[in-house]
Chain A
Amino acid sequence: MRLSMDLELQDIPGQLLLALQPLKENKANIISVVHHRDRKTPRGMIPVRFVLEMDRSKIEALQTKLKESGISVVRAGEDRFMESVSVVLVGHVLDSDIGDTVKRIDSTGFAEVMDLALTMPGVDEPSSAFMKIRATGKAEIQKALTILREVGKEKKLLVIEPIEAEAV
């Protein structure tokens, strides 16, 4: 699974290495490391964000080990939603029950609406919405778009999808 983890390191030499050792021991594959030297916390600690690919069963052992080394784990959580897509909807977006439209995506379990902006120029005029959907993977994004297309047909909404980067 993919995991993102925010750590705070003391501002003394060797701390990053200290954090890496437990990762190695628990066979965590590092996807990215962002080391914010310039954004010290009020306590003078240095925030570091790791994105890791690792076995779910080893997370607890990893956290314990890090704490033992004097490194504080501020946050650790699964990165479930790795892909996102933007869509514009035009029509009677609100009157056709926007709550239901969002629920149809959210209820899938693999995708959710993370951002929604609505413009309503007048009572009888069509409204427009910008919607950002995130999902667990590329295939799930496509599934979410399929659902949205069906909802669009049913509710007579114009669904404007993004052009894909590559036509493969």
Chain B
Amino acid sequence: MRDVKISLVGYGIVGHGVVDVLNRKKKVLRDMGLNLKLISVSDHTGTVLAEDGIDADKILGERTLANVATSSMKGKEAIAAIDSDLMIEVTPTNIVHGQPGLGHMEAALSSGKHVVTSNKGPLVVSYGKLKKLAEDNGVMMKFEATVGGTMPLISLVERTLVGNQIYGIRGIFNGTCNYILTRMTEEGIAYTHALSEAQDMGIAEADPSYDVEGVDTAGKVVILANSLFNMNVKYSDVDVTGITGVTPEALALAKKRGYAIKLIGDVPALTVRPTLVPLDSPIAVSGTLNSAAIYTDLSGTITVSGLGAGSIETASAILTDIISIYRTKRIDTIF
């Protein structure tokens, strides 16, 4: 049995999902030979510490840790003080400066902790530096949950399709935009109406600009470009057009001739823009689904689709990353 001490930093929707999933999967993980012990959970109010593992039932009902914190330590201070093997970073994302996640990840990596994250900001701002920091410290940084949520994409390309040359990846990487465009097409309703519906359903934020202006999708394009195409690009290198200008009439005209209009992110073209997608294309998925087409030399085109967001779904991608760290055998250690 391999004991792994885990610190969770960030206790929002995804953080709750992580606590829930680690708790639910305890037995399965043990059968795999992994004893994943959540020894600390931190948010902006403080930290809950438990050396033998945190009792999920005690904290899952709490929106923040304010009432259950056993220590006032926060952020980098907590990361430095707590002796864990792996940090899960799920604080709110900021694509401009990457904080506070960037500082958390730097602190964890430089103190020899593996990092698993769903936080796009730090990777968009500083992927190259973080990757080097991980390599220099002999630890891993995994971030499947940052692109396409639970939909396997990064590990699919890095592991399953290894050996293929990847010509490009195009897809729908934002469920909010896809929901709005789907509803506008189905009902012939205006953008503002579909947006307010999405907000009422909790699919869109009160300030939806991050999603509908294409910022979120562009962040994912940057992450894919840097991690899978070694491109070393910044957010400002992406040519971004959001969906706010798309009209129900445009959607109807396109549909009549066999097309859907989807917000498509394209790597390595580094574009995010509303695009005509044939209705029978496997990437023309509806609702909040995400999808991606991966164009390869040996395997042709591979298409994946799945839920791009959600508490448990995102936690699932995080769990997969954690397991893969401990199940990875390097080729040179096998021989």
Question: Which of B9-17, B43-51, B250-258, B303-311 lies at the interface?
Answer: B250-258
> Is the pair B253, A88 in contact by a Cβ cutoff of 8 Å?
yes
Q: Within the complex, what minimum Cβ distance (angstroms) separates B303 from chain A? A: 12
**Is B235 among interface residues, defined by CB-CB distance under 8 A?**
no
A126 to B257, CA, bound (A): 20
Contacts of B285 in A (CB 8 A): none
**A137→B261 CA distance, assembly (Å):** 25
B301 touches A90 (CB 8 A): no
The answer to whether the Cβ of A163 comes within 8 Å of any Cβ in the partner chain is yes
Contacts between chains A and B (CB distance < 8 A), count? 77
Per the CB 8 Å criterion, the residue count for chain B at the interface is: 30
B199 lies within 8 A of chain A by Cβ:
no
A130, B180: Cα distance in complex, Å: 21
Contact across chains for B259 and A86 when beta carbons are under 8 A apart: yes
Is there contact, CB below 8 Å, between B241 and A121? no
A161 at the interface (CB under 8 A from B): yes
Per-residue A-contact encoding for B241-265, CB less than 8 Å = 1, 0 else: 1000111011011101101010010
Q: Which of B62-70, B140-148, B271-279 contacts A (4 or more CB under 8 A)?
A: B271-279
Whether A94 is near chain B, meaning CB under 8 Å from some CB there, is no
Contact B245 A126 (CB under 8 A): yes
Cα distance A99–B252 when bound, in Å? 23
Among B167, B247, B274, B283, the most chain A Cβ lie within 10 Å of the Cβ of B247
B275 x A130 contact (CB < 8 A):
no
Instruction: Say yes or no for A136: interface residue by CB 8 A criterion.
Output: no
Chain A 65-97 near chain B by CB (<8 Å), digits 1 or 0:
000000000000000000000111011000000
Instruction: List chain A positions with a Cβ less than 8 A from chain B.
Output: 86-88, 90-91, 117, 119, 121, 125-130, 158, 160-163, 166-168
12 A-B pairs whose Cβ atoms sit less than 8 Å apart in the complex: A86-B276, A88-B276, A90-B246, A117-B253, A119-B252, A126-B247, A128-B253, A160-B246, A162-B278, A163-B170, A163-B283, A166-B295
* Extra inter-chain contacts (9) besides given A162-B259, A162-B276, CB under 8 Å: A90-B246, A90-B250, A119-B249, A128-B247, A163-B264, A163-B281, A167-B168, A167-B169, A168-B167
